[in-house]
Amino acid sequence: MLHNLSHNKVLHERIVFLTVHIGDTPFVEDDARVRVTPLGHGCHQLDVTFGFKDEPDIPAMLALCGAQALPFEMMQTSFFIARQTVISTPGEGMAPWREHLFVAMQRNARDAADYYRIPTNRVIELGTQIEI
């Protein structure tokens, strides 16, 4: 949010902080999946819980928020997602071949928008590099 504010010089009318929790049970019932907490000034905390065997689907969870007075229109919703890029650096730490293997595996991993079924045309990624 701070990156968007400093870059675009705007604060959106409604801001929702979404936290995804993966529970210890295989499945979570729909009535226990979504919890909305108003924070004031147009800000809300949205906690979504999935079981460890559930298929995470954020748009489906946002549809459940209408019952808690927080309706969403997908084509008017933007998702800001952090993206970390792992890079190998010479020096201390892991053996170079292990670092390169880890970097390759991370690069081939599924991205968060795809995993959570968020429409790609609604995603804004904010990236950072992590040196290993």
Q: What is the pLDDT of residues 45-95, one digit of tens each?
A: 999 999 999 999 999 999 988 888 888 988 888 888 888 888 888 877 788
The domain total for the chain is 2
Distance of CA 100 to the CA centre of its chain: 26
**Are 38 and 94 contained in the same domain?**
no
pLDDT (0 to 100) of residue 93:
76
Closest CA to 126 of 107, 114, 113: 113
Query: Range of 118's domain?
Result: 81-132
**Are 67 and 119 contained in the same domain?**
no
